[in-house]
Structure 1
Amino acid sequence: MKALPYALELVGLTDVGRARNNNEDCFALDTEAGLAVLADGMGGYNAGEVASQMLTSFLHSELGRWLHEAEGAPPEAVRRAVEICVDNANRAILGAAQTNPRYAGMGTTLVMAVFRPEGVCVAHVGDSRAYRLRAGRLEQITRDHSLLQEQLDAGLITPEQAVHALHKNLVTRAVGVEPIVQVDVALHPLQPGDQFLLCSDGLSDMLDDAQLQALCLRNNDLTDAARMLIAGANEQGGRDNITAVLARVGPAGRAEAKPWWGLGRR
C-alpha cells in the first residue's frame, strides 16, 4: 500500500462500564492500512460479544488485507470493498446465529473509518457513531439507525425529550440479524489537524456533544483523551460498555476529497 499523504494517529480504548459483567464492544486498528473498526454487540448468553468480535476480526483481516494490497485503488473500489466485506461478515454472523442455539438473535452495530488519499471513508450500521473535531468544533458525521432517530426525524419527539427516552438502544439496522445488511458509506474531506471519534452508545448516551467536545479539546494526547472520555462516561453512570477510538490527521499534508459516492450523505 502506498503511504498516505499525511500523518495518521490511531488510538482505541474499551471499558466494561459500571453496570455490565462482560464487554460486548470490540475494536480493531491498523494504522498502516488506515483502518479503524468499532462494533457494539447485542444478544443474550454473551452472544453479542461473539458477534462484535467476529465482525471486527473479519474486517481487520479481510478488508485490511485488501487495503494493504490496493495501492492506487479508486474511491469507488474502496467503497465496493467495504460493502462486500461487511456483507460477507453479515452472512458469517447470521450463519453462526442460525446454527448455534447459544448465538440465536445475536448481532452488532458497526462504525468504521478508512483513511485514504482522497479523504476518510466512514461506514456505519446501527447507533455507534462517528464524530469529527475540526477547529475546536465537534460534529456528528453519522446518523443513527435507531427508532429514536426516526422519531426525531418525524418530529414525534423533541431533542430534549430524546435525552430521557426509554428506548434509546432500539436499533433499526444491525449486522448479522438479516440476510442483507444496508451499510451507509460516505467520504469526508480532510484538513490538517482533523480529529475523529468513533464510539459505542455507551459513550454517547452518557456524555452529550458539548461534554465530548470539551474532553477531546482538553487532551492533546489521544490516549489521554480516550481515557478521559471513558472516565467521564463512567462518572455519569457507566450504564453500558464504553469504547472510544480516536484518529488524528497530522499537519504534514492535506487530502482534498474528490466528488464520489455518498459525499455528504448522513
Structure 2
Amino acid sequence: MDFEFFALTDTGRVRNNNEDCTATDPASGVAVLADGMGGYNAGEVASQMACDFILGELVRWLNEAARSASDADVKRAMDICVDNANRAIFTAANSNPTFAGMGTTLVVSVFRSGRALIGHIGDSRAYRFRDGMLSQITKDHSLLQEQIDAGILTPEQAAVSANKNLVTRAVGVEDFVLLETRAHELQADDLVLMCSDGLSDMLNDRQIEDILRLGGSLSDLGQALISAANGAGGRDNIAVVLVRAQGAAEPSSRSWWPFRRLGSGT
C-alpha cells in the first residue's frame, strides 16, 4: 500500500502571524501537525520545534528499524520522540522569558501498509474519510470534550460555547505529556485528514465531508478546505494534512499493536 501526502497552512483572515506548522516525510510515511500557543511569536517557535524534533527523530528511527519493527515498536518510538520534543520546548519556555508559557497541540501519524498509527495531544484532530463518509478518529483533549463526556454539555452546545480552545493537554507546557495513540485500519482510497482547530472550529464535520466528497487531487481538496474555513470567518490559523491510501495492503503475520506488547513474543 502506497500513500500520497499533501500539507498546507494558512494564516487565516484575522491573525497576523501563523502559529500552525506541518511536516511530512512520504518516504517514511510520517506526518506531523502542530498548532502553537503562547505570547509574541512563542507559539510559532513551539510548533516549529515540535515538527522539527519529531519528524527528524522519528524518520531517523524508522529508517534504521526498517520493516521489521512491530506496531508496538513504532508506538514506543513515537512516545520517545514526542517526549524529547516536549522536554526541549518545556526547557526553552522556562529558560527564555520571551518563550514563557509557550506550547503546542500535536497530531503525529505513521502510515504503514493497511493501517495508520495516529497519536495526538490537545484539540488538533484526525479524521478518516471512507466511501463518502467522514469519521473523527481522535478525541479532543479539551475542557469542552470533558464536559461533553460528563453530560454537562451536548455537542451542539459545545459548538457555540465561549470556552473553545481550552485544552487540557499540550506539548511543552509541563515536563511530561502523554501521547494518546491508536492504530486505525486503512483500505485503498481511504483519506486521512489531520487539521488544527482553525479548520474544525470554522467548519463542522458535515461541511468538511461535503468538500471531500468533491474528489480530485489532494492539493485541490486541501485548498478547498482552507478556502471554506476562510470563507466562514478564518478566525484562526489553519493547518491541513491529507494522506490518501493507494493500492492493497500487504499481507502480514504480525499482530497489530495494541495486542502485541514489546518483548512479549506473541
Report the TM-score when normalising by structure 1: 0.94
CA distance in structure 1 between the aligned counterparts of 2:154 and 2:70, rounded to whole angstroms: 41
After superposition, residues 106-121 of structure 1 pair within 5 angstroms as 106-117=102-113, 119-121=115-117
Separation (CA, whole Å) in 1 of partners of 2:4 and 2:162: 37
For the 8 Å contact 1:226–1:246, the answer to whether it is kept is: yes
Q: Counterpart of 2:245?
A: 249
In the alignment, which residue of structure 2 is the partner of 1:57?
52
| Structure 1 residue 159 corresponds to structure 2 residue 163 | no
Does the CA-based 8 Å contact 1:8-1:249 persist in structure 2? yes
Residue of 220, 226, 229 corresponding to 2:225: 229
Q: Counterpart amino acid of 1:16?
A: T
| Secondary structure, aligned partner of 2:77 | helix
Distance 1:208 1:255 in 2: 36
| Residue in structure 1 matched with residue 14 of structure 2 by the alignment | 19
Q: Does 1:9 align with 2:4?
A: yes
1:251: Cα distance to partner?
2.5
> Are 1:42 and 2:48 an aligned pair?
no
Deviation of 1:260 after TM superposition, in Å, equals: 1.9
Between the two proteins, what is the percent identity of the paired residues?
57
Gaps of 5+ in 1: 1-5
1:260 lines up with 2:221 in the alignment: no
User: Would the aligned equivalents of 2:114 and 2:250 in 1 still touch at CA under 8 Å?
Assistant: no
> Residue 146 of structure 2 corresponds to which residue in structure 1?
150
Report the 3-state secondary structure (helix = DSSP H, G, I; strand = E; otherwise coil) of the residue aligned with 1:70: helix
Q: Summarize the Cα distance change of 1:219–1:56 in structure 2 as closer, same or farther, 3 Å threshold.
A: same
Partners of 1:40 and 1:222 in 2: CA distance: 21
2:264 equivalent in structure 1: none
Correspondent of 2:90 among 82, 91, 94: 94
Aligned equivalents of 1:195, 1:225: Cα separation in 2: 11
Corresponding residue number in structure 2 for 1:3: none
Cα contact 1:126–1:145 (8 A) shared by 2: yes
| SS of structure 2 residue aligned to 1:20 | coil
Cα distance in 2 for residues equivalent to 1:225 and 1:262: 35
Q: Distance in 1 between matches of 2:155 and 2:163?
A: 14
Q: Which residue of 1 aligns with 2:119?
A: 123
Alignment partners' CA distance in 2, 1:164 and 1:246 = 27
* Post-superposition offset of 1:113: 1.1
Unaligned runs of 5+ in 2: 261-266
CA displacement at 1:255 relative to structure 2 = 6.5
Q: Distance in 2 between matches of 1:159 and 1:115?
A: 30
TM-score, normalised relative to structure 2: 0.94
How far apart, in 1, do the equivalents of 2:113 and 2:137 lie? 19
Alignment-derived partner of residue 202 in structure 1: 198
CA RMSD for the aligned pairs? Answer: 1.5
Q: Is 2:38–2:101's contact at 8 Å kept on the other side of the alignment?
A: yes
Contact 1:118-1:258 at 8 Å conserved across structures: no
Amino acid at match of 1:13: L
Structure 1 residue 117, shift from structure 2 partner: 3.0
Once residues 192 and 258 of structure 1 are traced to their aligned partners in structure 2, the CA distance between those partners, rounded to angstroms, is 20
8 Å CA contact 1:83–1:183 kept in 2: the answer is: yes
Residue 118 of structure 1 and its aligned partner are, at CA, apart by 5.4
User: Would the aligned equivalents of 2:2 and 2:113 in 1 still touch at CA under 8 Å?
Assistant: no
Distance 1:188 1:262 in 2: 13
The question of whether the paired residues in 2 share the 8 Å contact of 1:191 and 1:254 is answered with no
Q: Which runs of 4+ in 1 moved over 6 A?
A: none
1:160 CA displacement:
1.4
1:160-205 CA distance string (max 9 Å, x none): 1111101110000000001110110111111111100000000000
Q: Deviations over 1:2-24 (max 9, x none)?
A: xxxx1210001110000100000
Partner of residue 186, structure 1: 182
